[in-house]
Amino acid sequence: MEPKLYFKTTCAHCGGNVEAPADGVGLWIRCPHCGEKMQLVEASAKTAQTGTAKKSMAWVWIVVFAVAVVGAGAGFLVFKRSRPVTIPPTSAKVEPAKLAPEPEPDLWKGLKPGLVTIEKSPKSRLVYATGTVRNDTDKQRFGVKVALDILDAGGEKLGTTSDYTQFIDAHKEWTFKASINFPKAVSAKIESITER
């Protein structure tokens, strides 16, 4: 008894592989996978390869499509984030931020000068620069000297003068009176306040 030969074919409806005896070529049977009627046709090697190649190409196109969709989505996100944001103009006037004034430096460690004026003595030719120095600290200050620049009408410095006191009590004010020996003197400004 000769061994029975078999061949493989593919269902035209579902693509399932069907194995059949070689003498059954041309017969009609029901597909064991989908139940549809199919004719047993021996597939040549070329036909089998073509079917496999078609399935492979289908998967290639699916992968290419998926990559294209993902790439387009990523490109859109990058484009959207890289666009400059435009702010529509408003008609409201924007005021610049107001800064708090800088505190004046404490040049003389709690000794605060007041306004300086030029006074002429009513019964003589003597002229004085007068003003105040206030002790804003909680302790008594000793040997306080005020030095002043004497200025002419054009604001040019003519020279200097000074006055001295032995002490200024805490939170008290000293009124100084410094003599001026410059006939063209119009104003004076404090140059320094020192303490021994």
pTM above 0.75, yes or no: no
- Fill in the amino acid letter for 130: T
pLDDT at residue 58, rounded to an integer: 76
Q: Which two tokens stand for residue 4?
A: 């029975």
48-65: pLDDT as tens digits: 444 455 666 777 788 888
The yes-or-no verdict on residue 23 having pLDDT over 90 is: no
120-135: pLDDT as tens digits: 888 888 889 999 999 9
135-160: pLDDT as tens digits: 999 999 999 999 999 999 999 999 99
**Strand boundaries in the chain, DSSP class E:** 6-10, 17-21, 28-30, 37-39, 111-113, 117-120, 127-135, 141-151, 157-168, 173-180, 187-195
pLDDT at residue 180, rounded to an integer: 92
Average pLDDT of span 167-180: 93
Question: What top-level class would CATH report for the domain 111-195?
Answer: mainly beta
pLDDT at residue 131, rounded to an integer: 94
| Residue for token pair 């709690």 | 110
The rounded distance, in Å, linking the Cα atoms of 5 and 10 is 17
pLDDT at residue 188, rounded to an integer: 93
For residue 66, CA distances in Å to 60, 69, 73, 77, 78 come to 10, 5, 11, 17, 19
For residue 79, CA distances in Å to 6, 24, 68 come to 60, 63, 16
Q: Where are the alpha helices (DSSP H) in 36-146?
A: 45-82
Q: What is the dihedral of CA 189, 172, 120, 118, to 10 degrees?
A: 20
For the chain, give every residue range classified as CATH 2.60.40.10: 111-195
